[in-house]
């Protein structure tokens, strides 16, 4: 213990603080990095710095005082982090280069661990913050704004590739291709972020397992959130809102398994959830309100458990494209349920069938939506409830709740 304490004290005694800015000693961030040693602090004062590419190849704390501006002049990657344990804190980073051959970022982490990127403002960058082969890195409290209207000319806000144990916390992202993108990322958490008005998805998972995203807000994105080809994903207490379009969803699940959707709010989306090829998904305590479709569950899905959810004000509560049902609905609240409760146990005495005949017709013939709310469609649905013919017989809630849960 004594030897360790002496080592730490000696290390702290030799750590230096370097000052960068007009009248502060050094005029260049790159010059400070060249002069610094591992464990040093570099304080960069307010001003605008044109330094081409800043390469952090030592364990350093780069701290911006008064949000100094680092300008990539639309040519360069602004900051490249290539050392474990580095911290980038408090900068305004603008105008990174754009390249179809290189994924240039405002800040890019290369094959490093324990890096912290926090309290930065990134504007007009190709990729905002890019984590490549990162481990145990933290990206928190950053603001990322991009202005490219075309998907091909815009990278993702926070892009993470082949990384593990990341923490993406409290960031605000808008205007990018995808707000947050995970590909081959494991054991990571996305928490308390706001992702809105992005061109494609607010959040996009590909081949990323055993991750969690919790208490995020996804609003007015091109197609909401997509989770694809992944397993073990936990989706808790998020808000999916105002994602409209003929191919837009609050949440798209494709080829996903062994995952949890709990306590989320789906409000005013074309489809709250669209599932294809999903299996072993547990869904409970979610609110589906004022969506076109509350849920679209394709016939390729199986072992989906839907329980203790509220379905309120949706045009269609549930839709499917087949007659085979391998999923279960139980003890949900449906505002369209018009059954009765004679024994007063707060559970309906007759099952509720959430799939209407008209929704089945629209699924196969979208132009039929023109007849929505006409007398003939109401008559068809009433007839189907009495004598089911097109709707799946097994798709029903045998214990519908009489009162909403929350």
* 192-230: pLDDT as tens digits: 999 999 999 999 999 999 999 999 999 999 989 999 999
Residue 385 per-residue DSSP state: H
**What does DSSP assign to residue 384?**
H
**Size of the chain in residues:** 406
Burial 332-357 (b: 16+ CB within 10 A, else e): bbbeebeeeeeeeeeebeeebbbbbb
**Which pLDDT score, from 0 to 100, does residue 392 have?**
73
Domains of the chain: 14-386 (2.160.20.10)
Mark 81-92 as b/e (b = at least 16 C-beta within 10 Å): bebbbbbbebbb
Confidence check: pLDDT of 385 > 70: no
321-345 pLDDT, tens digit per residue, is 877 788 999 999 999 998 899 999 9
Cα–Cα distance for residue pair 314/358, rounded to 1 Å: 14
pLDDT given at position 7 = 44
Question: What are the φ/ψ torsions at residue 359 (nearest 5 degrees)?
Answer: -65, -35
DSSP structure string for 361-383: HHHH-GGGGGGTT-HHHHHHHHH
> Is residue 353 within 8 Å of residue 330, measured between CB atoms?
no
**Residues 205-215: pLDDT tens digits?**
999 999 999 99
pLDDT exceeds 80 at position 22: yes
> Residue 371 CA to chain centroid, in angstroms?
35
Q: By percentage, how much of the chain surpasses pLDDT 70?
A: 88
Per residue, what are the HEC states of 271-301?
Answer: EEEEEECCEEEEEECCEEECCCEEEEECCCC
Q: Which residues pair with 329 in a beta bridge?
A: 306, 397
Q: What is the pLDDT of residue 12?
A: 44
pLDDT band at 383 (very low <50, low <70, confident <90, very high): low
Between the alpha carbon of residue 145 and those of residues 89, 179, 300, 306, the distances in Å are 17, 10, 38, 37
Helix axes 357-364, 375-386, angle to 10 degrees: 120
């Amino acid at each position: 213990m004594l030897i360790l304490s002496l080592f730490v004290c000696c290390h702290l005694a030799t750590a230096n603080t370097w000052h960068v800015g007009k009248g502060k000693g050094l005029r260049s961030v790159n010059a400070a990095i060249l002069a610094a040693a591992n464990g040093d602090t570099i304080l960069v004062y307010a001003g605008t710095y044109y330094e081409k590419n800043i390469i952090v190849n030592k364990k350093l704390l780069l701290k911006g005082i008064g949000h100094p501006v680092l300008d990539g002049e639309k040519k360069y990657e602004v900051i490249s982090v290539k050392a474990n344990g580095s911290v980038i804190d408090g900068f305004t980073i603008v105008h990174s280069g754009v390249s179809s051959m290189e994924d240039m970022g405002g800040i890019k982490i290369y094959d490093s661990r324990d890096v912290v990127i926090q309290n930065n403002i990134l504007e007009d960058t190709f990729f905002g913050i890019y984590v490549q082969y990162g481990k145990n890195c933290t990206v928190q409290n950053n603001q990322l704004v991009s202005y490219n209207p075309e998907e091909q000319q815009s990278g993702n806000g926070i892009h993470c590739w082949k990384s593990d144990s990341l923490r993406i916390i409290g960031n605000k992202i808008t205007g990018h291709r995808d707000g947050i993108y995970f590909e081959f990322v494991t054991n990571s958490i996305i928490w308390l972020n706001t992702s809105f008005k992005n061109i494609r998805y607010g959040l996009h998972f590909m081949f990323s397992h055993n991750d969690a995203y919790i208490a995020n807000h996804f609003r007015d994105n091109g197609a909401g959130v997509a989770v694809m080809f992944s397993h073990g994903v936990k989706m808790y207490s998020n808000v999916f809102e105002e994602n409209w379009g003929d191919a837009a969803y609050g949440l798209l699940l494709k080829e996903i398994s062994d995952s949890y959707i709990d306590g989320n709010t789906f409000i005013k989306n074309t489809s709250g959830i669209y599932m294809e090829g999903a299996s072993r998904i547990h869904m409970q305590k979610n609110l589906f309100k004022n969506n076109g479709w509350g849920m679209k569950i394709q016939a390729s899905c199986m072992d989906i458990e839907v329980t203790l959810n509220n379905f309120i004000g949706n045009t269609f509560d549930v839709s499917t494209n087949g007659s085979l049902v391998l999923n279960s609905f139980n003890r949900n609240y449906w505002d369209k349920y018009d059954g009765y409760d004679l024994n007063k146990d707060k559970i309906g005495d007759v099952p509720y069938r959430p799939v209407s005949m008209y929704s089945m017709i629209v699924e196969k013939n979208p132009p039929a939506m023109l007849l929505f709310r006409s007398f003939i469609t109401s008559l068809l649905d009433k007839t189907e409830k009495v004598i089911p013919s097109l709707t799946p017989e097994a798709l029903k809630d045998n214990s519908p709740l009489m009162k909403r849960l929350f």
